[in-house]
Structure 1
Amino acid sequence: MKFYNINNHNEIINFEKALKIGLGKNQGLFFPIFIPKINLKNINKILDMDFINRSSYIISLFIKNEISLENLTKNISKAFNFPLKLINITNNISCLELFHGPTLSFKDFGVRFMSQMLHYFNKQEKIIILTATSGDTGAAVAHAFYNIDNIEVIILYPKNKISVLQEKLFCTLGKNIKTISIEGDFDDCQKLVKQSFEDMTLRKNFILNSANSINISRLIAQICYYFEVFAQILPDNRNNVIISVPSGNFGNLTAGLIAKSMGLPIKKFIAATNSNDTVPRYLKNGIWDPQKTIATLSNSMDVSCPNNWPRIIELFQINNWNLNQLFSQSTSDYLTEQSILKLYNKYKYITEPHSAIAYHALESKITNKKEFGIFLGTAHPAKFQKYINEVLNITINVPKKLTYYIKKENLSYNFPNNFSYFKSFLINNYI
């Protein structure tokens, strides 16, 4: 399959090139030239497969002309080597826990698949991966690419705006992983990455890539766990599924909408945001008006200008869907905390701010007992240990994979929010 640049439809490339360059001309995102369709009979067949083989089949529909199914399955087995758990909260609300990977975040799925694909396709060229993170992406990228030959990783993150545990997970590795705290917010970090891709001097001297959700490989990988949702629920519930997605950069929701477009019978999506409510306001009044980013409890969703939104618009236009079909809700820090308390006090379920926002949005949209609601659990609560302990007045256990990094030295640089300064760093250190 080929992929086209949303901002320049004349730029059409294969998966390998889209994987390697990340962004197209004019900072355009790549998108499949068509969405593979699966009829309901075949969907029921693939739901009977195990997660690895089902994921290999789904992804092969997008890239089978560039990699054999056998090699694809080998790489997916390495990438998706951890469980997904559907946890029942009530009779008709469940949480799909996507945080059982090596960095305790759903982003392990997309980034680990991307790293395996880059390793598979790379012809010994030196690639520099630039990535901005508001929390969990940084750890997932760092661990997925750590010690991979010919790949250097530079991760930008907003200084003092992510949790200490999140920071320690990816700022302590060293070797081919460089981390830089920026005096600004996530959108400032993302802007520096985009400016780098547009700078002709950098493009001339380096092979640049990004492991953010702008990379099409991450998006394709995330489609797979929406099919896993349906594999884990009872067949009687499959026609009335509502999925609430914690949304920051909107890659997670984009993948879900692609799954729906492929034929997965998802009844309704809810784009659950924090106080950075650009999308809920846009869906209400039709005006795209990003405001200054607000720091919240759910820091990984502190994004005012979500990069994947053009893909969602593209998908709705292709399918002739009406944007009124997409529900979106903004949740304050106060209501986020109340949802964390409710889930624990009433159901003895411990969650963290991002997942709690998805739960809060879902609970208000379930209108009858026939509907089956699922909210995505995107991060392990232990990553917010101090906050969760204070709110719930308990002591939650921290997994060993976290405690190991807590004790290690933070190796980050600290830079001003200045592109010339960052550009000089790249030139001086990598040419």
Structure 2
Amino acid sequence: MRYRSTRGQAPLVSADQALRAGVAPDGGLYLPEALPKFEPDEFARDNDLGALANRLLAPFFAGSPLADRLADICQSTFDFPLPLVTPDPAEPGLQVLELFHGPTGAFKDFGARFLFRAFDAIADASDPITVLAATSGDTGGAVGCAAEGARHARAVILFPKGRISAFQERQLCCWRDPVTALRVRGDFDACQRLVKLAFADRELSARHGLTSANSISIGRLLPQMAYWARASLDVFNRTGTRPGLIIPTGNLGNGFAAILARACGLPIGPVVLATNANATLVDWHASGEYAARDSIATLANAMDVGAPSNFERLSGFGDQLIEDVVRVDDPAIRERIALTHQQSGYIACPHTATALEAHARMDPARRSERVWIAAATAHPYKFAEAVEPLTGQPLSPPPSLADVLTRPVHLTDIAASLEELAGQLDADRAKG
């Protein structure tokens, strides 16, 4: 399997080269040159997620040094629960795929754990890797957790000052070496621009072995296909009908992973994207014209993206596979959290609430055509200050999140400038 740049001006590379580079030399994002095709019954014997992921991802790593390590990487990555639940027994056609049972309580754990295990397999002490990750909330916590204790890869996490929850900030800044947290005076898009500028500086990138753990990395997207495969197969085998997916999305990584899985033959029906008040994607879907803009701060802050990087992958590949894009603003998010709890007792985080609201807005006839799977992307405790007043119920952290509260915090404030970022990268390297 070889990988091509979305911009078509870079050489084809192997899977390990694509993972290590993060971004192609021409500034584009990597995509598989061709997609494998599967039939649902090929996964009949794959009872656990690790085995399914290995079978699904094997063609993507064919010919790569990672091929022989893939089974072990998948088994150690996907070692936590993936429940598909029915929040309201009175509405069995709506199911929620809880993606927050990993160590940092967010769906980003799947991709981050896979990526760092892959990095440790392809790097060594003489040729280390520096993962540079911009985060609007959950990616950084997952990257820091996955990187802690890594032998040959370090993580440098950039996050926007004042734009994430208090718990999210603590979770970004509590990890031990080799992890560095940088709080940027700017929004998420400013953090993302810094990452792109750093990659574009070839001398800086080579000096530190820079790569990405954001969803711009194909190594983040490929493992995310596995949980969409598992959930869709479970519903398809039970009902004989391809389920629809409702996916909260900001940078389009989670949505694109589902589209990639569908394009490979997994039994996935219509894909609906749910966004917050940031309207870039909903306006594109309505008009056919894409116009990036500054991001807007919302309750669902991990989706506060005005210029989704993965649109470059989507355009010309999977855009025809998206049935709808639904914009859910903060008042509607609050109302959906409260109403869902009132009706069923289920507690949703603000991001999950955008998917539940998108489902509620569907025409009843459309809802009844199939099972719809809404993605629950983060544990509600991570947004307790927003959720508790709406449900009237105190939230308790699961053990993995409770552990975060006992850890010391380490962070550095920087301006949104490449000069300051480069200085921090050099200072970290000098420390060892």
Q: TM-score, normalised by structure 2?
A: 0.94
Q: 1:56 aligns with which of 47, 50, 54?
A: 54
Match of 2:381 in 1: 382
| Cα contact 2:119–2:129 (8 A) shared by 1 | no
Q: 1:331 aligns with which of 328, 333, 349?
A: 328
CA displacement 1:221-261 (0-9 Å, x = unmatched): 01111111123326353424110000011011111001111
Runs of 4+ in structure 1 deviating by more than 6 angstroms, as ranges, are none
**Are positions 1:228 and 2:230 aligned together?**
yes
| Cα contact 1:245–1:252 (8 A) shared by 2 | yes
Match of 1:268 in 2: 270
Deviation at 1:173, TM superposition (A): 1.7
For residues 27 and 390 of structure 1, the distance between their equivalents in structure 2, rounded to whole angstroms, comes to 44
For residues 367 and 403 of structure 2, the distance between their equivalents in structure 1, rounded to whole angstroms, comes to 45
Letter in structure 2 aligned against 1:64 = A
For residues 409 and 177 of structure 1, the distance between their equivalents in structure 2, rounded to whole angstroms, comes to 13
Alignment of 1:13-412 (within 5 A): 13-39=13-39, 43-50=40-47, 51-67=49-65, 71-89=69-87, 90-124=91-125, 125-233=127-235, 235=237, 237-316=239-318, 322=320, 325-365=322-362, 367-412=366-411
SS of residue matched to 1:267: coil
For residues 171 and 44 of structure 2, the distance between their equivalents in structure 1, rounded to whole angstroms, comes to 34
For residues 256 and 97 of structure 1, the distance between their equivalents in structure 2, rounded to whole angstroms, comes to 15
Deviation at 1:48, TM superposition (A): 4.2
Deviation at 1:69, TM superposition (A): 6.2
- Of 134-143 and 1-10, the range deviating more from structure 2: 1-10
Deviation at 1:283, TM superposition (A): 1.2
SS of residue matched to 1:27: coil
Give structure 1 stretches of 5+ with no counterpart.
none
Letter in structure 2 aligned against 1:355 = T
For residues 5 and 68 of structure 1, the distance between their equivalents in structure 2, rounded to whole angstroms, comes to 20
CA displacement 1:278-303 (0-9 Å, x = unmatched): 01101111222222211000000000
Q: 1:276 to 1:47 in 2, by over 3 A?
A: farther
Letter in structure 2 aligned against 1:49 = D
Q: 1:415 to 1:370 in 2, by over 3 A?
A: same
CA displacement 1:172-214 (0-9 Å, x = unmatched): 1232100011111000000001000011330342211111011
| Cα contact 2:65–2:122 (8 A) shared by 1 | no
| Cα contact 1:296–1:302 (8 A) shared by 2 | yes
For residues 4 and 416 of structure 1, the distance between their equivalents in structure 2, rounded to whole angstroms, comes to 34
For residues 132 and 284 of structure 2, the distance between their equivalents in structure 1, rounded to whole angstroms, comes to 29
Q: 1:35 to 1:155 in 2, by over 3 A?
A: same
Count matched residues: 423
CA displacement 1:98-129 (0-9 Å, x = unmatched): 11000011111111111111111223312111
- Of 25-34 and 406-415, the range deviating more from structure 2: 406-415
| Cα contact 1:129–1:208 (8 A) shared by 2 | yes
- Of 408-417 and 189-198, the range deviating more from structure 2: 408-417
SS of residue matched to 1:315: coil
Q: 1:136 to 1:68 in 2, by over 3 A?
A: closer
For residues 312 and 165 of structure 2, the distance between their equivalents in structure 1, rounded to whole angstroms, comes to 29
Q: CA RMSD of the aligned region, Å?
A: 1.7
For residues 186 and 71 of structure 2, the distance between their equivalents in structure 1, rounded to whole angstroms, comes to 41
| Cα contact 2:243–2:373 (8 A) shared by 1 | yes
CA displacement 1:333-357 (0-9 Å, x = unmatched): 0001111112110011111100110
Letter in structure 2 aligned against 1:115 = F
SS of residue matched to 1:12: coil
SS of residue matched to 1:203: helix
Deviation at 1:425, TM superposition (A): 2.3
SS of residue matched to 2:295: coil
Match of 1:4 in 2: 4
% of aligned pairs identical? 29
For residues 10 and 190 of structure 1, the distance between their equivalents in structure 2, rounded to whole angstroms, comes to 22
| Cα contact 1:114–1:217 (8 A) shared by 2 | yes
SS of residue matched to 1:180: strand
Letter in structure 2 aligned against 1:16 = D
Match of 1:419 in 2: 418
Give structure 2 stretches of 5+ with no counterpart.
none
| Cα contact 2:155–2:180 (8 A) shared by 1 | yes
CA displacement 1:115-152 (0-9 Å, x = unmatched): 11111122331211110000000010001111111222
CA displacement 1:305-359 (0-9 Å, x = unmatched): 011111111423xxxx736x53101101000111111211001111110011011
Q: 1:425 to 1:45 in 2, by over 3 A?
A: closer
Deviation at 1:84, TM superposition (A): 0.2
Q: 1:62 to 1:397 in 2, by over 3 A?
A: same
Letter in structure 2 aligned against 1:404 = D
